[in-house]
């Protein structure tokens, strides 16, 4: 199989380029860690106080991942004084939750843990009234945009590294030499997709496992779905990177695509609230692959969406890469008519 000869060659080449490999696998972890500390997430255990509850509720909450105390009476003032993250008041089957929300991510975590804890216990989840001591329900934090960061890293590094690799192949003449052999154009593109795709897969696994296990970023949905999403992101990045590399004549020109192609996409990933944007601005976001990737990632990791909730995003990503890959195969005609 010619495709696999190509894949083997790409893996051999990249394995020997230690520095690029380190960049590919370790830089995302470094940046993610930095952002984690800059934006801060739950560093200490969550504290919650329950009043007026029946014993089973308290018991089931104790199994969840926070410190639970039952009290006779409690107040907002006491919450602030004791730095308590949540106060759950249960009366006649109704639940009232007051969140300190000094850090949005902690408030979100309390809500999430609470839901998880109650799910196991009650046959039906009672309605919960939420109040906030600080801020409001829409306050965003690191947790809400960290899922998109994972996709962003995959996109950024795959775009750059695969794009530069094909550029090198063009400028060094090896692409032309390759096309003087009976290899088919689609085999070249497929070799690139599989070769760099496998590195992207490893990168995604490392980044996601690090984010979830070391940085404790919430992952409510399925890890598999996260991987699938990021493989699609890698595909889009790879096919777009290799495509744009034909408009660059040097590595430096490839780097010049970063402010043109990558930075604008960041604005539409949810770091900046999309709701407030003008209509036409939101429409621009819809032509950007990372918009869909972030939507899916945020849904899966933060909101616990399942495949059925994010499949539209995934289909759009598949469509993006299908289009780019097709253009790639056709554009190789420049070198050989066959």
Residue 302 burial (CB count, 10 A): 22
The single residue among 2, 29, 102, 243 that binds other proteins, judged by CB under 8 A, is: 2
The residues, any chain, with a CB within 8 Å of residue 107's CB and separated by 6 or more, are 85, 86, 99, 100, 101, 132, 135, 139
Q: Which of 11, 116, 183, 277 binds other proteins (CB under 8 A)?
A: 183
The reply to whether 308 sits near other proteins by the rule CB under 8 A is no
Binding window for other proteins (CB under 8 A); candidates: 56-64, 124-132, 167-175, 263-271: 167-175
Distances (CA, A) of 84 to 100, 218, 279: 7, 20, 40
The answer to whether the CB of 151 falls within 8 A of the CB of 290 is yes
Determine if 9 is a binding residue for other proteins (CB under 8 A). Answer: yes
Applying CB under 8 A, which of residues 92, 138, 173, 278 lies at the interface with other proteins?
173
List all residues 6 or more positions away from 140 whose beta carbon is below 8 Å from its beta carbon.
104, 273
Q: How far is residue 265 from each of residues 13, 82, 135, 253, measured CA to CA in Å?
A: 30, 42, 28, 19
Q: Identify which range of 67-75, 120-128, 172-180, 229-237 contacts other proteins by CB under 8 A.
A: 172-180
Give the residue, chosen from 176, 209, 281, 322, that forms a contact with other proteins under the rule CB under 8 A.
176
User: The tokens of 273 are what?
Assistant: 């609230």
Phi/psi at 193 (5° precision): -60, -45
Q: Can you tell me the distance from the alpha carbon of 140 to that of 113, in angstroms, rounded to the nearest whole number?
A: 18
Residue 5 in contact with other proteins, rule: CB under 8 A: yes
Taking the complex as a whole, the smallest distance from the CB of residue 185 to other proteins amounts, in Å, to: 11
Residue 184 or residue 303: which is nearer to other proteins going by CB?
184
Binder among 177, 209, 264, 306 for other proteins (CB under 8 A):
177
Does the protein bind other proteins through residue 13 (CB under 8 A)? yes
CB nearer to other proteins: give 2 or 140. 2
Give me the residue label for tokens 């199989």. Answer: 1
Rounded CA separation 304/287 (Å): 25
Which region among 5-13, 57-65, 79-87, 115-123 touches other proteins (by CB under 8 A)? 5-13
For other proteins, how many residues bind (rule: CB under 8 A)? 23
Piece of the chain touching other proteins by CB under 8 A; list 2-10, 25-33, 93-101, 280-288:
2-10
Residues 6+ apart with CB under 8 A from 43: none
Report if residue 250 touches other proteins, rule: CB under 8 A: no
Among positions 63, 75, 172, 253, the unique one binding other proteins when judged by CB under 8 A: 172
Q: Identify which of residues 209 and 330 has a Cβ nearer to other proteins in the complex.
A: 330
Phi, psi at 68, each rounded to 5°: -110, 135
Residues of this chain that interact with other proteins (CB under 8 A) are: 2, 5, 8-9, 12-13, 16-17, 172-174, 176-183, 335-338
């Amino acid at each position: 199989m010619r495709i696999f000869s190509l894949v083997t060659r790409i893996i051999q080449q990249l394995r020997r380029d230690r520095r690029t490999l380190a960049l590919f696998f370790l830089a995302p972890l470094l940046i993610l860690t930095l952002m984690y500390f800059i934006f801060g997430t739950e560093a200490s255990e969550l504290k919650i106080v329950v009043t007026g509850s029946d014993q089973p509720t308290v018991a089931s909450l104790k199994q969840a991942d926070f410190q639970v105390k039952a009290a006779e009476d409690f107040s907002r003032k006491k919450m602030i004084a004791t730095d308590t993250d949540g106060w759950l008041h249960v009366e006649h089957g109704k639940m009232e939750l007051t969140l300190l929300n000094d850090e949005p991510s902690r408030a979100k975590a309390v809500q999430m843990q609470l839901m998880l804890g109650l799910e196991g216990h009650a046959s039906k989840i009672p309605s919960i009234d939420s109040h906030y001591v600080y801020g409001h329900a829409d306050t965003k934090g690191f947790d809400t945009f960290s899922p998109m960061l994972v996709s962003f890293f995959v996109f950024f590094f795959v775009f750059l590294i695969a794009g530069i690799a094909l550029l090198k192949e063009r400028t060094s003449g090896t692409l032309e030499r390759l096309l003087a052999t009976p290899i088919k154009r689609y085999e070249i593109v497929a070799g690139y997709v599989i070769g760099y795709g496998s590195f992207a897969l490893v990168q995604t696994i490392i980044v996601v496992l690090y984010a979830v296990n070391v940085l404790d970023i919430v992952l409510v949905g399925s890890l598999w779905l996260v991987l699938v999403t990021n493989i699609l992101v890698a595909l889009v990045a790879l096919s777009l990177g290799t495509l744009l590399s034909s408009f660059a004549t040097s590595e430096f020109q490839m780097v010049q695509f970063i402010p043109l192609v990558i930075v604008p996409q960041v604005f539409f990933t949810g770091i900046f609230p999309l709701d407030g944007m003008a209509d036409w601005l939101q429409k621009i976001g819809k032509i950007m692959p990372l918009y869909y990737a972030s939507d899916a990632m945020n849904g899966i990791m933060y909101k616990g969406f399942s495949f059925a909730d994010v499949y539209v995003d995934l289909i759009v990503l598949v469509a993006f890469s299908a289009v780019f890959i097709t253009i790639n195969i056709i554009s190789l005609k420049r070198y050989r008519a066959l």
